[in-house]
Amino acid sequence: MVASVVQEEPPSLDEVMGILDEASQVRAYSHQLEQQSRELEAATAELRAANAQLQELDRMKDDFMSTVSHELRTPLTSIRALSEILHDDPRTALAERKHFLGIILKETERLTRLINQMLDMAKFESGNAEWHTSELDVREVVEEAVDATSQLFREREVDVTISAAGPLRRVRADRDRLMQVLLNLLSNAVKVCAPGEGRVEIGLSEGRSALRVDVRDNGPGIGPADHETIFEKFRQVGETAGARPRGTGLGLAISRRIVEHLGGRIWVESALGQGATFSFELPLEAGPPAAAVERKAAQRAG
């Protein structure tokens, strides 16, 4: 075409069509390069995000191993030291022996609790957790959980009360897993309360389609920025209150897994200096309230 122009000859139709074809190919190639560039940028961003996530997981793993190592080492050290004293000095006074054995028993229970939490989380994540659901009276399970933690409340001189807004219908849930959630929430609540001044209130209420349980304490509270993070693995409520955290930080993460598996949800409402309320809801079973069922059963028995 350049030669034709130089020679002042008009370009032929074939030359024009060839130029247009080449221009079209160049444009298509340019679009292809732009698309590949965008895909490369998106892949790079995904890789950066994945790398950041891996770094965070690695940090959390290191924190978890450090915490678990400390939490396992502390009771083991106490158990070994006190056992050696009892073994090496058979003449230890009876009162002192009982005191040592009491500490050994508490530290053994603490070890068992930590190990069970780690095993439970591993089962949940692998999908191998066992579930045994049945119709439950939640108030009855709450009362059992309070009885199970009564010694902890007495030791710290913390008051605990249960209130229910009218008769409640039953829920379909796993009794042992629901008890596990309640024990986690009650143990956390009593530990953050000031000894001798603490108060924990458990409220039960019923909505249109769900039964709600609130566990309210008058502890130091939790900042809004931590309302979600405390339900993550290896995060602990104590971190938000300024105290040295105890345990593996798996209790709330396990509780969330259980409640969500049962079709419900769990959350916290709190502000620093104003205590905290941990709440969860479970879907209601169709039918009359549990109290009405019990009355009818009593009437039939009578």
For residue 300, tell me if it sits in a domain: no
Per-residue pLDDT of the chain (302 residues; tens, 9 = 90+): 556 555 666 767 777 777 778 888 888 888 888 888 889 988 998 999 888 888 877 776 776 666 667 667 778 888 888 898 888 888 888 888 899 898 898 888 878 877 887 788 778 877 888 888 899 999 999 999 999 989 889 989 999 999 988 788 999 999 999 999 999 999 989 989 999 889 999 999 998 889 999 999 999 998 888 888 888 876 654 443 344 445 556 788 899 999 999 999 999 998 888 899 999 999 986 544 444 444 444 444 44
Last-in-domain residue among 106, 129, 152:
129
pLDDT computed for residue 183 by the predictor: 92
Q: What is the pLDDT of residue 68?
A: 67
pLDDT of residue 6: 58
Note whether 86 and 106 are same-domain residues: yes
Q: Give CA–CA dist 170/135, Å, rounded.
A: 6
CATH number at residue 78: 1.10.287.130
Quick check: is 301 in a domain? no
Q: Is residue 298 part of a domain?
A: no
Residue carrying the six token digits 């049962």: 262
* Domains identified in the chain, total number: 2
CA distance 31 to 211: 57
The reply to whether 299 falls in a domain is: no
Position 293 scores a pLDDT of 41
* 232-240 own/partner pairs: CB under 8 Å, 24+ apart: 233/60, 233/64, 233/121, 234/60, 234/63, 234/64, 234/67, 237/188, 237/192, 237/276, 238/191, 238/192
Check: CB of residue 143 under 8 Å from CB of residue 162: yes
Same domain, 69 and 113: yes
171 lies in the same domain as 273: yes
Is residue 272 included in any domain, yes or no? yes
Q: How far is Cα 118 from Cα 183, in angstroms, rounded to an integer?
A: 16
| Residue whose tokens read 């009982």 | 98
- Residue 214: both structure tokens together: 């609130």
Residue range of the domain that includes 32: 1-129
Question: Could you say which of 129, 146, 179 is where a domain stops?
Answer: 129
Q: What is the DSSP string of 97-127?
A: HHHHHHHHHHHHHHHHHHHHHHHHHHHHHHT
Does residue 91 share a domain with residue 213?
Answer: no
Q: How far apart are CA 148 and CA 261, in angstroms?
A: 24
235 three-state secondary structure: coil
Q: Which of 129, 157, 184 represents a domain boundary (last residue)?
A: 129
pTM (predicted TM-score): 0.64
Say whether both 15 and 139 belong to one domain. no
Residue 286 lies in a domain: yes
Is 51 within a domain?
yes
What is residue 24's three-state secondary structure?
A: helix
